[in-house]
Amino acid sequence: MLTFKELDESTFEAFASRCPEGSFWQSAPMIRVLKRQPGRIVRTVGLEDGNAQVVAAALLVGDKVHMGYQFRVVHGYLVDFSDKDLVALMTKEIISYVRRLGGLYLVLSPNVVNETIQTRNGEKVSSHEHHPEAVGVLEDLGFVHQPFSKRMSGDSEPEWQYVKYLDGIADTEGLRKSFDLRARQRIRKSQSYGVELHQASPEELPEFTKITQETAERLHFQGKSLDYYQKCMEAYGDDARFVMATVNLPHYKAYLQERVRKLGQEATELREKLASIDDDEKNRRRKLNNSLKTVNSQLERTERMVDEADRFRKEADGDVILLSAALFLIRPQEIVYLESGTYDTYRTFDSPYLILDSMMRLAVEKGIPKFNFYGVSGCFDGSDGVLKFKEAFQGEVEQLVGNFVKPVRPLRYKLYKALKAIVR
């Protein structure tokens, strides 16, 4: 005999943390984040068996719309969708429950993969459709599947995400080998420049917000507010990592000057070798000339970087500058790369690669099986620069099953849709 009931935060979290479909959207910290929104209804409910063991659960979020409330279960229910009777009972009870709370309609977006896509240079190479049971089960229960979208809005959960499964990777060496050459080179470069990472303090959140909002504007999507980040930091505690990448400009300039010195010395040695060889040693002369051209090119570029470092120092408020920042949420099922920002001026430091490397190493250390780079647009025509960046870490695109809508009050919902269409 199964009983539907409201679940307290700790009971819900205990179930959500061990559920394979669990995500940060269905978690106790998210309850605390969502409850801070005035006028919002937040409830955790579930089904318990005769031994008081939870077998299905959902975090319900109700927001006011015209003529009632829209209730959403983002990345839920937390249930085995192959058990049709269990899903049917959960739906019946939730519809009855949200009706009493003034619900107009219910939206589910299960954390279930519809299709896996392999990409290269932002274009689809191959794909595999999973034909998940959740789609048919929900449609049989009266849910209407909404059309898939190709977008990355920043203000809702994405239907398309880039993920990397970490099974079989035991250490940092194995992790780095799993990246492509571009990522490995840029991680090493960032380290050689002296880029350092640290966890942002509460006092640094305004600066964190500034860099992420500037990036969001550049990429044409909605960035998160300072209030949102403050709520996340408070609610998630150590499971929210606000990583900031900085560089000490005097140290960086000293590194470049030392590199200029070594390259200059190498160029001098090559010229001396060229001067000492006989005219008939054509092959050796050609190789030395090619080497000298390469070294001179590196030397000129490094000298320009010294000048650039001087410019950075003149424009900065101090010796240490912020290059990039990112927010990660840690769950037993995955680490999610939720928000990020990079100052375009400082792209040469490649600090986002170093940040992601550090957090994937943390996932490996903790035995977390998946790293979720989160949203991509779903456009595979080579135009998605975000996807191309994430491809360097050798993962894959997952398309989730998307949104399903079921009216709670059918007649009123029909009128609501008609009025909404007129307003448009």
- Identify the bridge partners of residue 58 per DSSP, sorted by sequence position: 45
Is 132 within the bounds of a domain? no
Token readout for 154 is: 């920043």
Partnered with residue 312 across adjacent β-strands are none
- Domain-embedded: residue 135: no
Pair (269, 411) in one structural domain: no
Distance CA(277)–CA(295), nearest Å, equals 19
Phi, psi of 200 (to 5 degrees): -65, 140
Of 378, 329, 364, the closest CA to residue 164 belongs to 364
pLDDT tens-digit map of 90-123: 999 999 999 999 999 999 999 999 999 999 999 9
DSSP-derived letter for residue 2 is -
DSSP string, 313-360: HHHSSSSEEEEEEEEEEE-SS-EEEEEEEE-GGGGGG-HHHHHHHHHH
Q: Are residues 381 and 277 in the same domain?
A: no
Give CA separation, 214 vs 218, 276, 412, in Å. Answer: 6, 56, 41
- Does position 229 have pLDDT exceeding 80, yes or no? yes
pLDDT at res. 420? 84
Q: Are 45 and 94 in contact (CB under 8 A)?
A: yes
Do 198 and 65 have their domain in common? no
Q: Structure pTM?
A: 0.93
pLDDT band at 45 (very low <50, low <70, confident <90, very high): very high
Q: What local confidence, expressed as pLDDT, does residue 404 receive?
A: 98
Same domain, 176 and 303: no
Predicted pLDDT of residue 151: 61
Dihedral sign, CA of 407, 412, 416, 418?
Answer: positive
pLDDT at 39 exceeding the cut of 90: yes
Query: Do both 220 and 334 map to the same domain?
Result: yes
Per residue in 394-404, pLDDT (tens digit) is 999 999 999 99
Q: How far apart are CA 44 and CA 260, in angstroms?
A: 61
> Bridge-partner residues for 109, per DSSP?
74
pLDDT grade, residue 178 (50/70/90)?
A: very high
Residue 382: what residue type? G
CATH number, position 328: 3.40.630.30
Confidence of residue 31 (pLDDT cuts 50, 70, 90): very high
Neighbours of 65 (CB within 10 A): 12
Question: Is residue 195 in a domain?
Answer: yes
Q: 172 and 235 share a domain?
A: yes
The phi and psi torsions of 83 (rounded to 5 degrees) equal -90, 90
Per-residue pLDDT band for 152 (boundaries 50, 70, 90) equals low
**pLDDT number for residue 156:** 64
**Residue 237 domain-assigned?**
yes
| Model confidence at 334: pLDDT above 70 | yes
Does a structural domain hold residue 180?
yes
In-domain check, residue 153: no
Closest CA to 121 of 382, 377, 378, 376: 382
What does pLDDT average to over the chain?
95
- pLDDT per position as a tens digit, 353-369: 999 999 999 999 999 99
Is pLDDT at 210 greater than 60 in this prediction?
yes
Place of tokens 């005035």: 38
Q: How many CB atoms are closer than 10 A to CB 298?
A: 16
- pLDDT band at 279; cut points 50, 70, 90: confident
| Long-range contacts at 344-349 (CB < 8 A, ≥ 24 apart) | 344/218, 345/312, 346/247, 346/312, 346/321, 348/305, 348/308, 349/190, 349/193, 349/195, 349/245, 349/247, 349/323, 349/324
What band does 278 get if pLDDT is binned at 50, 70 and 90?
confident
Q: Say yes or no: 214 and 331 in one domain.
A: yes
283 Cβ neighbours under 8 A, 6+ residues apart: none
pLDDT over 70, % of the chain: 98
Please check whether residues 189 and 227 belong to one and the same domain: yes
Helix intervals (H) in 113-248:
133-140, 172-178, 181-192, 205-219, 226-236
Q: Is 413 part of any domain?
A: yes
User: Quick check: is 156 in a domain?
Assistant: no
Query: Do residues 278 and 372 both lie within one domain?
Result: no
**Residue 153: its pLDDT value, please?**
52
Token pair 């479909």 is found at 21
Residues 35 and 96 in one domain: yes
Strands 144-145 and 404-407: antiparallel
Distance between alpha carbon 266 and the CA centroid of its chain, in Å? Answer: 43
Summarize pLDDT for 70-84 with one digit per residue, the tens: 999 999 999 999 999
- Chain segment 240-255, per-residue pLDDT in tens: 999 999 999 999 999 9
Please say if the pLDDT value at position 211 is more than 60.
yes
Give yes or no: residues 222 and 337 share one domain. Answer: yes
Domain count, the chain: 3
- Based on its alpha-carbon atoms, the radius of gyration of the chain, rounded to whole angstroms, reads 27
pLDDT score of 47 more than 90: yes
Shared domain check, 12 and 101: yes
Burial class, 236, CB count within 10 angstroms (exposed 0-12 / middle 13-18 / buried 19+):
buried
Domain region containing 278: 250-307
